[in-house]
A and B are shown apart, each in its own frame.
Chain A
Amino acid sequence: MKQNKFKIYGKFFSINLKTQLQYKGSFVMMFFGQFLTAFSGFMMIYFLFDRFNAVKDFSINEVLLCYSVSHISFSLSEVFVRGFDAFGSTVRTGDFDRILLRPGSTIFLILCSKMDFTRLAKALNGVIIMIFAVINAGIIWDGMKIFTLVLMVLCGMALYSALFLIYAALCFYTTQGLEVMNIFTDGGREFGQYPLSVYGENVLKFLTFVVPMALFQYYPFLYLTGRVNSIVYCFLPLGTLPFMIPAYIIWRVGLKHYKSTGS
């Protein structure tokens, strides 16, 4: 059964990719546009550091490390969890009724229904800047640090996906995406461009204990830059995973409340 699921996912993956590549001109334009959006964030950091040499003792290359982790993990989850990001329209148009009729878990089917490959442009931008930052940040890289960096990206992806799931669950009540959730999704990416301690202690506490962004973005980053030496910090990104439980519960509760819009 499990292998079967992978096969189905692979099929949907190639269908989604092929559909989007049908409109080549549009795809290229969108890809370029997405790249530019992400890149302008980098330009802003560059300009600010042109004026100020450091912020809270972090150098530009260290900040760019945060920037790239934030962008790569966010945009990869945007590519694959797009079905939840755009869930408002799925509910409004009645497409969700069709999904409910199909055999299999709804979450799996929604994941299959939409993928947006133009968002890879943002991840690409992130990777380029990460390479640049990794070389210039003056960090001595060893196996453990590379492992931590990969774990940061993967767990970041997991957290953003959980946030998109909550966002989608709220659509059951409002039928329209709630702009408030943007604070955590788009906001997380935007504010995560800097080490989260920049925003002061209270924000850092909130982002550690309530929405655990600091666990994948800030604490392991302290280890990478040699500010702390304890190996515990390498595994902190895993702390974002329990966040998926409340997200899943919210989704289940929302699903029970679902009433078709009738269209």
Chain B
Amino acid sequence: MKKYFTFFKIRFQSTLQYRTAAWAGVATQFVWGGMRILMFMAFYEADKSRFPMEFTELSSYIWLQQAFLALFAVWTFDSEIIESITSGSVANDLLRPMDVYTMWFTKDMASRMAKALLRCVPVIAITSFLPKPYGLSLPKSFEAFLLFLITLFLGVAVLVSMGMYIYILTMKFMSAMGVRILFTNIAEFLAGSIIPLPFMPDGIRFFLEMLPFASAGNLPLRIYSGNISGNEMWFYIAVQIFWLLFLQVTGRIWLKSKMKKVVVQGG
């Protein structure tokens, strides 16, 4: 356990080095979040009765999404892992007395969390002071806040577990650029990162909410603002835990079977 924690620490600290990039990112996130909220405001003014969330809930959803963008950025894969696979240095990892799956998993988790930690503080701090319907509101209750933190962590774990599939596919195809682009597109769409899931048509909404994508980027943000609560919330948390276990177990089994017939390219 200790060695995985060390990996986590190393990756976490090295990611924290890129502070200027983080500041530039924060500015971008303000504009993106702000423009999106203004756009939804226009829809809100067009027909309030058809708006599926409270407007303050929507603002909180969008600002949290921007604050924690690095956590749920589907398009970022750990370039070091991808490179180790394509260059063949993955052979070194196999020699180490540790589980490759867990190592990759902790590395990816660590760099996401470090990036998010750098960026979330200024976004949260400033957007909390924006005027009423546009800013980030306080969480619904203390309980909601705690559950938000827990599901946020579990959500990242679900997303990274899905990403592990892509790393394994990279072992299979060597260049998995196409697969990655497809995965990114589908995941972005299904996770409600472009428009929040409550805005989806009712017919497909429930179906989307049951998928692992919603468990990752969508659920924690809606718990925070109180858009999901009570029994419904516990149901979706159960779904989230189910996906985490399912993806972890199948991913580990798959990687193990791949590792048995791994071909190391020379060089």
Please report A residues at the B interface, Cβ cutoff 8 Å.
25-26, 28-30, 32-34, 36-37, 40-41, 43-44, 47-48, 50-56, 176, 178-180, 182-183, 187, 190-191, 194, 198-200, 203
Task: Please give, as numbers and ranges, the residues of chain A lying within 8 Å of B184 by CB-CB distance.
Answer: 33
Do the beta carbons of A187 and B38 come within 8 Å of each other?
no
The 6 closest A-B pairs by CB, nearest first: A29-B178, A33-B181, A199-B38, A198-B42, A36-B185, A179-B24
B129 interface residue per 8 A CB criterion = no
**Partner among A25, A51, A182, A191 whose Cβ is within 8 Å of the Cβ of B50:** A51
A180-B26 Cα distance, complex, nearest whole Å: 9
Task: Please give, as numbers and ranges, the residues of chain A lying within 8 Å of B31 by CB-CB distance.
Answer: 183, 187
Task: Please give, as numbers and ranges, the residues of chain A lying within 8 Å of B50 by CB-CB distance.
Answer: 51-52
A244-B60 Cα distance, complex, nearest whole Å: 38
Say how far A233's CB is from chain B's closest CB, in angstroms: 22
A48-B21 Cα distance, complex, nearest whole Å: 34
- A sample of 8 cross-chain residue pairs with beta-carbon separation below 8 angstroms, ordered by A number, consists of A30-B181, A33-B184, A47-B200, A47-B201, A50-B201, A52-B47, A52-B50, A56-B42
Do the beta carbons of A48 and B182 come within 8 Å of each other?
no
Do the beta carbons of B38 and A26 come within 8 Å of each other?
no
**Partner among A32, A52, A180 whose Cβ is within 8 Å of the Cβ of B24:** A180
List B residues 1-58 near A (Cβ within 8 Å). Answer: 21, 24-25, 27-28, 31-32, 35, 38-39, 41-43, 45-47, 50, 52
| Contact A187 to B32, CB < 8 A, known contacts A29-B177, A178-B24 | yes
Say how far B59's CB is from chain A's closest CB, in angstroms: 15
Residue of B nearest to A57 (CB): B46
B195 interface residue per 8 A CB criterion = yes
A41-B185 Cα distance, complex, nearest whole Å: 11
Do the beta carbons of B35 and A33 come within 8 Å of each other?
no
Do the beta carbons of B185 and A37 come within 8 Å of each other?
yes
**Partner among A43, A56, A200 whose Cβ is within 8 Å of the Cβ of B189:** A43
Do the beta carbons of B35 and A203 come within 8 Å of each other?
yes
In the complex, besides A44-B194, A55-B46, A203-B38, 5 extra interface pairs with C-beta distance below 8 angstroms are A29-B182, A36-B185, A40-B185, A51-B199, A190-B32
Residue of B nearest to A182 (CB): B28
List B residues 146-204 near A (Cβ within 8 Å). Answer: 175, 177-179, 181-182, 184-186, 188-189, 194-195, 199-201
Say how far B57's CB is from chain A's closest CB, in angstroms: 16
Do the beta carbons of B189 and A40 come within 8 Å of each other?
yes
A190-B32 Cα distance, complex, nearest whole Å: 9
Residue of A nearest to B178 (CB): A29
The binding surface of chain B is classed by DSSP as helix
Residue of B nearest to A36 (CB): B185
Residue of B nearest to A46 (CB): B201
| Contact A47 to B199, CB < 8 A, known contacts A29-B177, A52-B43 | yes
Task: Please give, as numbers and ranges, the residues of chain A lying within 8 Å of B201 by CB-CB distance.
Answer: 47, 50-51
Task: Please give, as numbers and ranges, the residues of chain B lying within 8 Å of A54 by CB-CB distance.
Answer: 46
**Partner among B24, B179, B195 whose Cβ is within 8 Å of the Cβ of A48:** B195
| Contact A26 to B178, CB < 8 A, known contacts A198-B38, A203-B35 | yes
Do the beta carbons of A41 and B194 come within 8 Å of each other?
yes
**Partner among A34, A37, A51, A194 whose Cβ is within 8 Å of the Cβ of B39:** A194
Residue of A nearest to B31 (CB): A183
Say how far A188's CB is from chain B's closest CB, in angstroms: 10
Output the residue of A30, A37, A55 with the most chain B CB within 10 A: A55
A194-B195 Cα distance, complex, nearest whole Å: 14
A28-B178 Cα distance, complex, nearest whole Å: 8
Task: Please give, as numbers and ranges, the residues of chain A lying within 8 Å of B24 by CB-CB distance.
Answer: 178-180
**Partner among A25, A32, A180, A198 whose Cβ is within 8 Å of the Cβ of B27:** A180
A85-B218 Cα distance, complex, nearest whole Å: 32
| Contact A183 to B43, CB < 8 A, known contacts A25-B178, A29-B181, A44-B195 | no
Task: Please give, as numbers and ranges, the residues of chain B lying within 8 Å of A180 by CB-CB distance.
Answer: 24, 27-28
Q: Hey, what's the 0/1 contact readout for B228-262 against A, CB within 8 Å counting as 1? A: 00000000000000000000000000000000000
Task: Please give, as numbers and ranges, the residues of chain B lying within 8 Å of A50 by CB-CB distance.
Answer: 201
Do the beta carbons of A26 and B25 come within 8 Å of each other?
no
A190-B33 Cα distance, complex, nearest whole Å: 12
Task: Please give, as numbers and ranges, the residues of chain A lying within 8 Å of B52 by CB-CB distance.
Answer: 51
**Partner among A30, A36, A179 whose Cβ is within 8 Å of the Cβ of B25:** A179
Do the beta carbons of A47 and B46 come within 8 Å of each other?
no
Residue of B nearest to A33 (CB): B181
Residue of A nearest to B179 (CB): A29
Do the beta carbons of A198 and B195 come within 8 Å of each other?
no
Task: Please give, as numbers and ranges, the residues of chain A lying within 8 Å of B25 by CB-CB distance.
Answer: 179
**Partner among B27, B38, B178 whose Cβ is within 8 Å of the Cβ of A33:** B178
